Structure formats: structure tokens, C-alpha cells
Amino acid sequence: MKRKLKILFVLIAFSFIAAGIQAQVDADKLLKSVGTRLSKINGYTVDLLIKVEVDMVKINDRKAKLTYQKPNKFKFDSEGFLLLPKTGMEMDYMKLIEKQANAIYIKDEFVNNVSTHLIKVIPVDPASDVVLAEMWVDPKKAVVMRMKTYTKESGSYLVNFYYTNHPYNLPDRMIVEFDVKGSKIPQKIAGGEFNSKEKELLFKDSKGKVIVIYSNYKVTTTPK
């Protein structure tokens, strides 16, 4: 009886270790599958509608055109002025996948009603601004549903991606949430409020949000 229990214990322990190794392999594979899907795309142009929701900033929705060229060239064109968050606007997971990084599977989670694998990605390059990224990846479509990135210079930011049925599974909506706390501007730039006692405008709310709606994708792909 004792022997049987020992064998059972060893089997259970082995299955856990095996599952762990399997999960580690899965995370790398998962990241690779996202990379493989993206590698088919050489570049694209897309129309953007950008909504900025930041405390103290008032700006109308802006239209722009984004041109992406492999491997990581992003160009924004607009007739008017664009105010964009410094982080999260350039599909940063592409850069992470492209460069060498270690991926660790953490757990399964639902993001926007889609079952995803949460993986932690640690860039190998010590010069990388990104210290750690958490990615929620839909394994069926090989798309990143959510990404939280921790950087050395720009704090952390969260990006949520929304997809419909684009042939290359490119997002049709993206919401970037980022830190703006502590940002301040001298008020007398071009005429401040008369009698105002405020010498500086301080961003009181710590979070900013930018919603980007993508439409009219024109994708160029690698010939098979």
C-alpha cells in the first residue's frame, strides 16, 4: 500500500513538473505564433480616429493616417495637430516579439469574453526600456488581446486591443491607458487666465486614456 502511494505521489509530482515544462514551451510557442502571424504582413496603411481622454487636456477627436512598414517603422500623418501618448501607440508587442525575450506562462484569463493565456515577457536585451510585459494572448487567433508594459523611463501602460474579423487579425480598436501624474506646464505660454493664481497647470488625475479606432486597412504581405 505504502509503495503504491509513493508511486502515485511520484506520478503526480512528475505530471506537475511536466505540465510546468509544457507551459514554458507553450508561452514561447504562443509568442512565436503571434510573431509568425505578424511576419506575413510587410506593411499597412490605416485610417485612425483618435480620441484623447486626459485630465486637463481638451482636444477634439482627430483623424490621421498610420503607415506601418516592417520591421518597426510607424508614421503618423495628419492635417492637424496630434497629441499621442508616447507609449503604446506603435503596437509595441511587435518590437518585443521581434527581439529576443523570455516568455513564461502564468495562467488563463478571460479578456473581453475571450479565453486568453497570460504570459510574462522579459526582454533579454539589458538596454531595452521595457523591463517586463504581461500579454494576454488569444491562442486560437494568435492575437494579443491586452498588454501591460512596465518601462524604465515612462512608467507603466496598459493597452487593450479589440478585433472583429480582419483577414490578418489586425485590431479595429485600441485603448491605451497611461500615467500622466506629475506632468505640469507653465500657464503663461500664450496668455493665461486673467487674475489666475495658478502658475502651473498640473495633471491631477494620474491616468490618461487614448482610444484609437482603425479603419480602411490596406495591407501588403510577403509573397508566398
| CB of 59 or CB of 132, closer to another protein | 59
Closest CA to 210 of 109, 77, 64: 64
Q: Does 22 bind another protein (CB under 8 A)?
A: no
Structure-derived torsion over alpha carbons of residues 176, 181, 185, 191, reported in degrees to the nearest 10: 70
In the complex with another protein, which residue's Cβ is closer, 19 or 57? 57
Q: Does 185 bind another protein (CB under 8 A)?
A: yes
> Under the criterion CB under 8 A, does residue 216 sit at the interface with another protein?
no
Report the residue number, 119 or 212, with the smaller CB distance to another protein.
212
Q: Is 189 in the site for another protein (CB under 8 A)?
A: yes
Report yes or no: 182 and 161 within 8 Å, Cβ to Cβ.
no
By the rule CB under 8 A, 204 interacts with another protein: no
* DSSP secondary structure letter of residue 53: E
Query: How many residues form the binding site for another protein (CB under 8 A)?
Result: 39
Q: Kind of pairing, strands 207-221 and 200-202? A: unpaired
Q: Any idea of the CA torsion for 67, 73, 77, 81, to the nearest 10 degrees?
A: 140
Taking CB under 8 A as the criterion, which residues in 59-118 touch another protein?
59-60, 64, 76, 78-86, 89
Q: Do 112 and 138 form a contact (C-beta atoms < 8 A)?
A: no
Residue 151 touching another protein (CB under 8 A): no
